[in-house]
Homo-oligomer: A and B are copies of this chain.
């Protein structure tokens, strides 16, 4: 930690700060600069008491306290310099040279809706099936998902198409149930710092796709991922789905800069969800092209046989035709990005 002292404080005030740093187990190292004196406190920030309280303890002497160490370890490139890959089901490997597309309806609504979609997206080239069985809804009066019945339909669609299945986990109490049916457990944006849920998901051993929270800084997202790795589950996928900003034209602002940043800071694959990111079907095509070009490992796209009748988020789901066209148009960009 770096402790910046206020200018012109007395020798006595300075000594008090230094003694406190020592008392908390750090070794102080003093640098006298032109405008400020700065103290480096040598010691492991992950195992010692934080010094961030010093500005509160000595409000007249301490101007600011700057942490130096990164708080995440296991997700960091420092811990694991090579890219990690995540194996899903028997044949899918995310994070390698092959590019993946996970597609399907926002909510599982019934057998016909799901199977029609699954067959169509498989035909168009999708390599995984998405679909919500438990749905987090802003209002208690909105459709909350089919629950276990939805999970069973997903398993049936997997059997028919061979596509592994990703679905959202909403409750600690459902972790075992969802893990029984799903190939990837999705943690939604609103639960991205529901640490109990992250731990429960990690403990199932299944791959965990962690969406970025609506106002989560990248460091916080990495730390949430750390909860998965620290609970002995190495199968972590980060998924950017748009952050909340002042803009109202789109539902969220898709932050595609997360692709190079996550690649730089962490070793886990990065997935982009342009459907949530825009909240509008008409922007999905362009965003997919950008995400592919910037090097993401997979896309997560909402597709519905009849978006106008969708029980949730109809405004952002692609029709089956629209999805097939998208898959065609992505091809040259996947090739330009050096992926299959």
Q: Is A40 an interface residue (CB 8 A)?
A: yes
Residues of B within 8 A of A260 (CB): 282-283, 285-287
Q: Are A195 and B140 in contact (CB under 8 A)?
A: yes
Residue-wise interface mask of A (221-264) relative to B, using a CB-CB cutoff of 8 A (1 in contact, 0 not): 00110110011000000000001111111100111110111001
The answer to whether the Cβ of A307 comes within 8 Å of any Cβ in the partner chain is yes
**B257 and A2 contact, CB distance less than 8 A:** no
Contacts of A254 in B (CB 8 A): 256-257
Interface residues on A, range: 35 or more
Which residues in B have their C-beta under 8 angstroms from that of A293? 289-290, 292-294, 333, 336
Nearest B residue to A34, CB-CB:
B44
Question: Does A56 contact B247, Cβ atoms closer than 8 Å?
Answer: no
Q: In this assembly, does A36 line the interface, its C-beta being within 8 Å of a C-beta of chain B? A: yes
In the bound complex, do residue B249 and residue A217 qualify as a contact, i.e. CB atoms below 8 Å apart? yes
- Chain B residues with Cβ below 8 Å from A314 are 50, 52-53, 56-57
- A73 CA to B281 CA in the complex, in Å? 25
A110 within 8 A of B: no
**B246 adjacent to A257 (CB under 8 Å):** no
* Shortest distance from the beta carbon of A280 to any chain B beta carbon, whole Å: 7
Given contacts A56-B317, A215-B215, A314-B50, contact A138 B257 (CB under 8 A): no
- With A40-B31, A249-B218 as contacts: A139 and B226 at CB distance below 8 Å: yes
Instruction: Mark out the residues of chain A between 168 and 200 whose CB falls within 8 Å of any chain B CB in the assembled complex.
Output: 170-173, 190-191, 193-197
Kindly report which residue of chain B lies nearest to residue A173, judged by CB atoms.
B172
Do the beta carbons of B72 and A139 come within 8 Å of each other? Answer: yes
Task: Say whether A308 faces chain B, with CB atoms less than 8 Å apart.
Answer: yes
A66 at the binding interface (Cβ < 8 Å): yes
Structural contact, A68 and B336, CB atoms closer than 8 A: no
Q: With A and B bound together, what is the CA distance between A309 and B285 in angstroms?
A: 41
| Chain B residue contacts of A256, Cβ below 8 A | 254, 256, 287, 290
A4 to B70, CA, bound (A): 11
A40 in contact with B40 (CB, 8 Å):
yes
Question: Residues of B contacting A309 with CB < 8 Å?
Answer: 49, 53
Could you say which residues of chain B place their CB within 8 Å of the CB of A336?
A: 293, 332-333, 335-336
- A residues with CB within 8 A of B: 2, 4, 7-8, 20, 24, 29, 31-36, 38, 40, 42-46, 49-50, 52-57, 59, 66, 68-69, 71-73, 78, 136-141, 170-173, 190-191, 193-197, 213-215, 217-220, 223-224, 226-227, 230-231, 243-250, 253-257, 259-261, 264, 277-278, 280-283, 285-287, 289-295, 307-311, 314-317, 332-333, 335-337
